[in-house]
Amino acid sequence: MASNPLYRLSNLRFHYGDTFTLSIPELEIEAGASIGLVGPNGGGKSTLLKILAFLETPREGEIVFQGKKVQGADSSVARNVTILLQEPYLLQTTVFENVAYGLRVRGKKEGLRNRVEEVLHRVGLPYEEFAHRKWHQLSGGEAQRVALASRLILNPQALLLDEPTASVDPYSTYLIRQAIIDVWKTFRTTLIVASHDLEWLNGAVDRIYKVHDGKIIGSGEENLLPGPWEPCSASLWKKVLEGGNVILAPPPPHRESTALLRGTEIELHVAEWKETASENILPGVITGMYAEQLKGYLNIYVDIGGITLLSVMTPERADHLRVLPGKKIWVSFPATALRWL
């Protein structure tokens, strides 16, 4: 637990209309942390971000920011935190004015030109070429970078980004990631990024939480296996995948329940190998490998027929198995490793 958390959320609940609920019993985010939120659309990532940006108020629960309790959408607190919305949105004026707006409303008028130029440089937009362009003379990626620049220039304590790479070209995607890592390293800005692009996120942040059905689950190296499930035998249920693979699981609460499978509980083998009847042994193809630089292990992605499983292993083991993308491999995990959500 951090000694000096930036955020502490307790017993948070949020309703959207009648149906959806965000429900977080406890969440602490330290100052200077770099966090990703991943999960399906509609799962609660955006809502959580907006609450952390003080743009929305939770129905129940408490938020403590920098040691002080925050009631409702408090604009004085909101000034310390800034969020970049999904879909680039700019004010109807020049790039320069867009970037300078946050400083202007704070009454900080000195050295504007230099500061604007510096932050535009950080997002890869040369001043001479872009500063005087109007908001409608930019591509989607350029606009999103301008929007990011207008937040970076404020040096916020926390920078929140909601799907920053959606509707944005690959080059901008890359630049945005560089910019936020840079800012995190240089200023210890707390980063909280929501994205459905797990791969991009992996290279951008330190720790990833899964947000699913309004709840925060674990730290990202879990696989989510949604229903439907069918009964198989007395103690087992199954899910049939494309191509014929069958996943065995303990009986679920509902047919449509989702199961959680930790990446560390999946083993890879070069050949099929029979064990007990409740062991899942499935053929698949390796689709990707990723090195978690900060933690020193590998994430291996295996396609077992419509679902990609994430398996975690040491580089040595991977080397031993001669793991390569495109290679056929066998995955194994006991049925009991599946935990129901």
Partner 1 sequence: MDYLGSGFLRALVLLFSGDPETYSAIITTLQISSLSILASLLIGIPGGFLLGYFEFPGKKQLRALSDTLLALPTVVVGLFVYAFISRRGPLGGLGLLFTVPGIALAQTILVLPIVVSLTATAVESLDRRLRLTLITLGANARQIALRTILEARFAVLTASVTAYGRAISEVGISMMIGGNIKWHTRTITTAVALETGKGEFAMGIALGIVLLALALAVNAVLVTLRRKR
Residues that bind partner 1 (CB under 8 A): 53, 55, 73, 75, 78-79, 81-83, 85, 87, 89, 91-92, 101-102, 105-106, 134, 136, 147, 150-151, 154
* 107 dihedral zone (left: phi>0; alpha: psi -120 to 50; beta): left
Q: Angle at CA 119, nearest 5°, toward 114 and 123?
A: 145
Length of the chain: 341
- The least distance separating partner 1 from the CB of residue 4, rounded to whole angstroms, comes to 24
Q: Which two tokens stand for residue 46?
A: 């955006």
CB 63 within 8 A of CB 51: yes
Q: Identify which of residues 136 and 274 has a Cβ nearer to partner 1 in the complex.
A: 136
- The least distance separating partner 1 from the CB of residue 101, rounded to whole angstroms, comes to 6
Q: Identify which of residues 87 and 275 has a Cβ nearer to partner 1 in the complex.
A: 87
Q: Identify which of residues 16 and 101 has a Cβ nearer to partner 1 in the complex.
A: 101
- The least distance separating partner 1 from the CB of residue 88, rounded to whole angstroms, comes to 10
Instruction: Find all residues with CB under 8 Å of 251, minimum gap 6, and list them.
Output: 231, 235, 236, 237
d(CA 91, CA 84): 13
Instruction: Find all residues with CB under 8 Å of 290, minimum gap 6, and list them.
Output: 199, 202, 298, 299, 301
Q: Identify which of residues 154 and 286 has a Cβ nearer to partner 1 in the complex.
A: 154
- The least distance separating partner 1 from the CB of residue 168, rounded to whole angstroms, comes to 16
Q: Identify which of residues 87 and 319 has a Cβ nearer to partner 1 in the complex.
A: 87
Reduced to 3 states (helix: H, G, I; strand: E, B; else coil), residue 199 is helix
- The least distance separating partner 1 from the CB of residue 53, rounded to whole angstroms, comes to 6
- The least distance separating partner 1 from the CB of residue 228, rounded to whole angstroms, comes to 37
Q: How many CB atoms lie within 10 A of CB 131?
A: 18
Q: Identify which of residues 91 and 324 has a Cβ nearer to partner 1 in the complex.
A: 91
Q: What are phi and psi of 37, to 5 degrees?
A: -120, 120
